[in-house]
Amino acid sequence: MTVPSNKRKASTAMTGPVMVGIVITVDHVYLPLDAEGNVVAGWTAPNVSTSKVLRRTHLKAPADLARFLADRDQAEITTPAVGEGVQ
């Protein structure tokens, strides 16, 4: 059975972004964190407050942010997103 694309999009929106595990590889970065110490899903919002995250900190982050940090050598992706092929 094929699921219409509009229903797939609605399903993704309800579950939130794909989260992956990362470890910070630089002295520090500033990221918006939730109560559990993971990056918030709405990390691109202009009014979000950030916290200093130190080197070797392990946390979960949205896949797009994880890729951005990895491309800048600020983090290493430790657990790829299922079906995403994050490298």
- Over residues 7-64, the pLDDT tens digits come to 544 444 567 889 999 999 999 999 999 999 999 988 888 999 999 999 999 999 999 9
Quick check: 80 pLDDT over 50?
yes
Check pLDDT > 70 for residue 2: no
What pLDDT does 11 receive? 47
Distance CA 46, CA 85 (A): 29
pLDDT of residue 15: 75
Helices and strands (H and E) in the chain: how many: 2, 5
Greatest alpha-carbon span in the chain: 49
Judge whether 20 and 81 are in contact, CB under 8 Å.
Answer: yes
Sole residue written with tokens 């918006």 = 32
**Whole-number pLDDT of residue 58:** 97
| CB-based contacts of 80, cutoff 8 Å, min separation 6 | 20, 86, 87
